[in-house]
């Protein structure tokens, strides 16, 4: 399929002619002007040299890459690569030998300017998932640039410390490009996190979980279904299959990201190691919370305090996805990776009782407390056997510039938004994501018919802390409290099952000053 070949999904989409793909030339791309290179400032260092920089400049490119994933032939795909032009060396660090993108790292308060060159041979644009950035650099599909062009993204880092990520966002081709290998971590640090005393360095492990299917010559096959999306038959972690991570008898901070096109995971260690959650999409929780397992749908992140201190040397601890039920072929059990405890180490670090301060939003403070915005998930177009069906959000499919009256809000207001997943010919799980926002889950309700599926996942829904993506199960209604950002302009919200997104399960959201 890569990069020029048409996937079956794209052929189907063309046949349906959903929306217009308006690709603007570089000149029309609204890109902030790169400021003069910042000088290391007098800012007081907290715990690393990195904080001494006000401005970081990174050259990022995306283009064809052949990488080793399985034994045997290399796998062709697309990868990001980076060079730090100005800033500390750890502002962009490649994952050795992996197709998965370099990990970008910044401190809250810094400005990261990314000059991104598209060498993929196809139009593309990059989105900074979870970061609150101006509309012009948010990765809206209207800002796609042609291959050979460069876009400048000036990103003032105003988010709190957390595990964010970046990936392409072109209209109708996001799944293709992420599946081909385009995604990376964007980690933000701040002083509150540094004071929490969590594991750092090699004990702070970002782990991106993806799935894929390969042909006999190790090339990726993309064969999505309309309803589930794409479910691959191999699990990859940071771009590698059958990962065994050599670990010490230490505490690890695992930053888990679901970078899969469609697959939802129900994560637990195969032994008795607790799933101690310390963070979610928007950074640290107020306090650690233990779960029997953790649901992680595409786009979501969760930080785990993994304590291997009392493990015997030689122990092998699989991280698994457990069985659950859905209406969408999701939920087969599968092994994700294995931690091999092969080194003794001493550590007397304690799980902090308090991790961060979180201001709890209250429904009564929302400007629309008695009149929530309601976005229904539904479906259109299903012929006999479901062929041609596509999922809709708020009654419509994606349209490049269209904004419905209930998709407008004033900057910086607090709103309550209700998402319902109770209608349509196929009611299936969806990960719903809002660009630029970190919101709070107010509550969930589920219809009696949804209960059987819901009971298999409910104890692992981490509705704590700050979220930018949440799983909504069949029959569920989820209410969230959202404080809109300070940047006016066009943003988006969508299903992060990328096959659904590409089929139009995405809408614009307009913030007005």
- The least distance separating ligand C2O from the CB of residue 393, rounded to whole angstroms, comes to 12
The distance in angstroms from the start CA to the end CA of the chain is 43
State the Cα–Cα distance between residues 471 and 229, nearest whole angstrom: 15
Report, in Å, the least distance between residue 167 CB and Cu ion. 9
Which option in Cu ion, ligand C2O, none does residue 261 bind, with CB closer than 5 to 8 A by kind? Answer: none
CB of 487 to Cu ion, least distance (A): 14
CA 442 vs CA 95, 356, 361, 364, 456: distances in Å: 37, 19, 9, 12, 21
Compute the distance between CA of residue 120 and CA of residue 117 in angstroms, rounded to an integer.
Answer: 9
Q: How far is the CB of 498 from ligand C2O (least distance, A)?
A: 8
Does 433 bind ligand C2O (CB under 6 A)? Our answer is: yes
Torsion from C-alpha of 49, 50, 53, 58, nearest 10 degrees = 140
Q: Which is nearer to Cu ion, 68 or 327 (CB)?
A: 327
Among 18, 62, 105, 127, binds ligand C2O (CB under 6 A): 127
From the list Cu ion, ligand C2O, none, which binds 232 (C-beta under 5 to 8 Å, kind-based)?
none
* From candidates 115, 154, 435, 500, binder to ligand C2O by CB under 6 A: 435
Q: Which stretch binds ligand C2O (CB under 6 A): 106-114, 230-238, 288-296, 490-498?
A: 490-498
Question: CB 492 → ligand C2O: shortest distance, Å?
Answer: 6
Q: Which does 299 bind (CB under 5 to 8 A by kind): Cu ion, ligand C2O, none?
A: ligand C2O
For residue 219, the cross-strand partners are none
Q: Which does 266 bind (CB under 5 to 8 A by kind): Cu ion, ligand C2O, none?
A: none
Cβ atoms of 248 and 339 within 8 Å: the answer is no
Establish if 494 lies at the interface with ligand C2O (CB under 6 A): yes
Contact status: 259 vs ligand C2O (CB under 6 A):
no
Angle among Cα 250, 256, 259 to the nearest 5 degrees reads 150
- Give the shortest CB-10-to-Cu ion separation in angstroms: 18
Choice between 55 and 176, CB closer to ligand C2O: 176
Contact 244, 236 (CB under 8 A): no
Phi/psi class of residue 41: alpha, beta or left (left: φ > 0; alpha: ψ in -120 to 50)? beta
> What is the DSSP code string of 189-204?
E-HHHHHT----GGGE
CB of 144 within 8 A of CB of 171? Answer: yes
Among ligand C2O, Cu ion, none, what binds residue 18 when CB lies within 5 to 8 Å by partner kind?
none
For the chain, the residue count is 513
Q: Which span (22-30, 109-117, 441-449, 492-500) binds ligand C2O, by CB under 6 A?
A: 492-500
| Interface residues toward ligand C2O, by CB under 6 A | 127, 129, 167, 169, 299, 433, 435, 492, 494, 496
């Amino acid at each position: 399929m890569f990069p020029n070949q048409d996937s079956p999904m794209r052929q189907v989409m063309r046949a349906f002619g959903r929306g217009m793909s308006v690709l603007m030339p570089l000149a029309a791309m609204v890109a902030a002007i790169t400021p003069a290179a910042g000088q290391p400032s007098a800012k007081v260092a907290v715990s690393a040299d990195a904080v001494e920089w006000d401005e970081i400049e990174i050259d990022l490119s995306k283009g064809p890459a052949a990488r080793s994933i399985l034994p045997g032939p290399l796998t062709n795909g697309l990868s990001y690569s980076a060079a730090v032009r100005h800033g500390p060396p750890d502002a962009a660090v490649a994952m050795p030998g992996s197709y998965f993108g370099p990990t970008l790292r910044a401190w809250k308060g810094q400005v990261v300017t990314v000059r991104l060159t598209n060498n993929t041979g196809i139009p593309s644009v990059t989105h900074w998932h979870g970061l609150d950035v101006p509309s012009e650099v948010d990765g809206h599909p209207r800002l796609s640039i042609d291959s050979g062009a460069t876009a400048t993204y000036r990103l003032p880092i105003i988010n709190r410390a957390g595990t964010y990520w970046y990936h392409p966002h072109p209209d109708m081709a996001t799944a293709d490009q992420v599946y081909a290998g385009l995604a990376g971590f964007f980690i933000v640090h701040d002083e509150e996190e540094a004071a929490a005393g969590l594991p750092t360095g090699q004990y702070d492990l970002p782990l991106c979980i993806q799935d894929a299917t390969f042909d006999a010559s190790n090339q990726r096959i993309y064969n999505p279904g309309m309803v589930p999306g794409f479910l691959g038959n191999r699990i990859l972690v940071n771009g590698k299959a059958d990962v065994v991570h050599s670990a010490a008898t230490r505490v690890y901070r695992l930053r888990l990201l679901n970078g899969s096109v469609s697959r939802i995971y129900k994560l637990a260690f195969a032994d008795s190691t607790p799933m101690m959650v310390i963070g979610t999409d928007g950074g640290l929780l107020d306090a650690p919370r233990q779960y029997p397992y953790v649901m992680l749908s595409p786009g979501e992140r969760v930080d785990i305090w993994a304590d291997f201190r009392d493990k015997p040397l030689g122990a092998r601890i699989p991280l698994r996805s457990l069985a659950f039920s859905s209406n969408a072929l999701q939920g087969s059990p599968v092994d994700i990776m294995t931690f091999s405890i092969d080194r003794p180490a001493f550590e007397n670090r304690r799980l902090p009782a308090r991790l961060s301060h979180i201001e709890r939003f209250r429904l009564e403070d929302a400007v629309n407390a008695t009149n929530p915005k309601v976005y229904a998930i539904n479906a259109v177009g299903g012929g006999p056997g479901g062929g041609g069906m596509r999922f809709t959000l708020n009654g419509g499919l994606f349209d490049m510039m269209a904004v419905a009256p209930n998709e407008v809000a004033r900057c910086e207001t607090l709103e309550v938004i209700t998402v319902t997943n109770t209608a349509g010919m196929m009611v299936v799980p969806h990960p719903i994501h809002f660009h630029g926002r970190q919101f709070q889950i107010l509550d969930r309700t589920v219809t009696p018919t949804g209960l059987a599926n819901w009971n298999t996942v409910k104890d692992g829904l981490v509705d704590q802390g700050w979220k930018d993506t949440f799983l909504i199960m069949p029959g569920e209604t989820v209410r969230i409290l959202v404080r809109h950002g300070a940047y006016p302009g066009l943003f988006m919200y969508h299903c992060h099952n990328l096959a659904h997104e590409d089929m139009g399960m995405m809408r614009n959201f307009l913030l007005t000053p």
